[in-house]
């Protein structure tokens, strides 16, 4: 049972005008332990911001997926061509594998090594299709084995603080950098790891959301979170800068991320002001799926499926922005997902190892759209999707019936 926090018990004034959404710290391996989180708040110029976390009410556990699909192999084509992946001429790019390190094949004398990995493609849902290894030591872009999004994944997690470039609005004369959450052993699976860029609510840092972000990383995602407490501000925006830095690390032999990143599958998600920043970031060509949480703006140049989340009890931001964001989508898969009992902050787990129903749904969404985990596709797609028939949720969708 998720603990719902009282908004009156969580209010902390910051600089006299901004309310801090989670100014505490968390140690590696803990889920926001060491005290209660303070509510988000403060307004920002775009109307986003944090707010008090009220009582969330009871939650209904989303059923865990069973079974699973694994990537199918495939032999190398003769003369440098992949059987189902396009041709490689002297180490050229794979046709269906996508761009980026790990999506390209390198051969000897033009013959590509590795093979193709299929990942079932439906209406905009398939994601990790194709791929080949560039060398014997490089990762492979392909579909990941099925996993239960409600439990911790198979990877031990390493957190690296104050990494990457300075980006965003200066705070007390200091321009923020980033926090990285990643699998400790980046070679454990042999697969290239998809990326998630994270945006904080007003007045908070990635530490506030550490439980969820470590959960993502335990499933194999590389998560880059800006340390900015006003992540929607700055030019260029911090969430996009974080993606650029991770892609640069993928080409840096001194980095733990070297040749371990799937540059073709990158997601963006964030809370409150970070949700507005997510909406902005999703216009970037590298972002292939988006999940704004408790706040969204209409974005007409998305590059992949989107879930617009709100809490039915959120009186601070409300659900109108998420509804408008869905209305603006035309030809891409998109979902409006309202968790009826949640407010602006109680969608998130505070303490303990169990993730909230909403966090489980976010993990499942990212696995489907960034990892090609088709065992979880029915949670969101099809006439009778799992969330569609769960009384804890109110769902509206576009282009997701199949």
pLDDT of residue 349: 86
Q: 185-207 pLDDT, tens per residue? A: 999 999 999 999 999 999 999 99
The lowest-confidence range among 66-80, 123-137, 323-337 is 66-80
Burial class (CB in 10 A: 0-12, 13-18, 19+), 16: exposed
- Give the pLDDT of residue 300: 76
Q: Which residue has the higher pLDDT, 17 or 354?
A: 354
pLDDT at 302 over 60: yes
SS3 214: helix
Q: Using one digit for the tens of pLDDT, what is the confidence trace for 150-164?
A: 999 999 999 999 999
pLDDT of res. 400: 96
Nearest CA among 308, 379, 396, 334 for reference residue 150: 379
What values do phi and psi take at 374, rounded to 5? -70, -10
Give mean pLDDT, residues 224-249.
Answer: 96
Domains in the chain with CATH codes: 7-59+146-398 (3.40.50.1820)
Question: Mind listing the pLDDT tens digit for each residue in 13-61?
Answer: 333 333 333 333 333 443 433 333 333 333 333 333 333 333 333 333 3
pLDDT band at 376 (very low <50, low <70, confident <90, very high): very high
Cα separation, 256 vs 321, whole angstroms? 39
Query: Which element (helix H / strand E) includes 324?
Result: helix 320-328
Helix (H, G, I), strand (E, B), or coil: what is residue 79? helix
Q: What is the pLDDT of residue 243?
A: 98
pLDDT digits (tens, 9 = 90+) for 255-289: 999 999 999 999 999 999 999 999 999 999 999 99
pLDDT of 84 reads: 36
What pLDDT does residue 136 have? 58
The pLDDT tens digits of the residues spanning 124-177 come to 444 334 444 344 589 999 999 999 999 999 999 999 999 999 999 998 899 999
Picking from 240, 213, 208, 203, the residue whose alpha carbon sits closest to that of residue 159 is 213
Average predicted confidence (pLDDT) for the chain = 75
Query: What distance in Å separates the CA atoms of residue 144 and residue 152, rounded to the nearest whole number?
Result: 16
């Amino acid at each position: 049972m998720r603990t719902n926090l009282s908004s009156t018990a969580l209010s902390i004034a910051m600089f006299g005008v901004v309310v801090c959404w989670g100014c505490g710290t968390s140690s590696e391996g803990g889920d926001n332990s060491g005290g209660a989180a303070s509510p988000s708040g403060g307004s920002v110029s775009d109307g986003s911001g944090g707010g008090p976390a009220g009582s969330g009410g009871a939650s209904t556990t989303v059923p865990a997926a069973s079974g699973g699909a694994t990537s199918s192999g495939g032999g190398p084509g003769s003369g440098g061509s992949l059987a189902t992946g396009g041709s490689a001429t002297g180490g050229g790019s794979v046709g269906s594998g996508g761009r980026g390190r790990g999506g390209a094949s390198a051969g000897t004398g033009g013959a590509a090594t590795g093979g193709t990995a299929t990942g079932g493609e439906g209406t905009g849902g398939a994601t990790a299709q194709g791929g080949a290894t560039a060398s014997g030591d490089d990762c492979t872009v392909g579909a990941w084995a099925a996993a239960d999004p409600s439990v911790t994944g198979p990877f031990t997690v390493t957190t690296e603080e104050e990494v990457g470039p300075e980006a965003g609005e200066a705070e007390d004369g200091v321009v923020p950098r980033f926090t990285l959450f990643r699998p400790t052993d980046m070679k454990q699976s042999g697969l290239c790891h998809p990326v998630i860029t994270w945006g904080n609510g007003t007045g908070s840092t990635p530490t506030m959301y550490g439980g969820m972000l470590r959960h993502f990383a335990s499933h194999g995602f590389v998560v880059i979170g800006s340390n900015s407490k006003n992540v929607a501000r700055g030019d260029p925006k911090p969430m996009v800068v974080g993606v650029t830095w991770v892609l640069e690390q993928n080409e840096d032999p001194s980095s733990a991320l070297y040749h371990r990143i799937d540059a073709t599958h990158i997601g963006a998600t964030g809370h409150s002001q970070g949700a507005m920043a997510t909406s902005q970031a999703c216009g970037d060509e590298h972002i292939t799926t988006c999940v704004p949480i408790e706040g969204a703006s209409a974005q007409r140049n998305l590059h992949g499926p989107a879930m617009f989340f709100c809490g039915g009890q959120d009186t601070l931001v409300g659900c109108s922005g998420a509804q408008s964001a869905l209305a603006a989508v035309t030809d891409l898969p998109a979902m409006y997902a309202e968790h009826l009992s949640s407010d602006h902050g109680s969608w998130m787990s505070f303490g303990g190892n169990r993730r909230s129903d909403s966090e489980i749904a976010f993990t499942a969404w990212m696995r489907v759209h960034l990892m090609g985990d088709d065992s979880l596709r029915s949670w969101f797609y099809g006439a009778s999707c799992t969330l569609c028939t769960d009384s804890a949720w109110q769902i509206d969708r576009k282009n997701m019936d199949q």
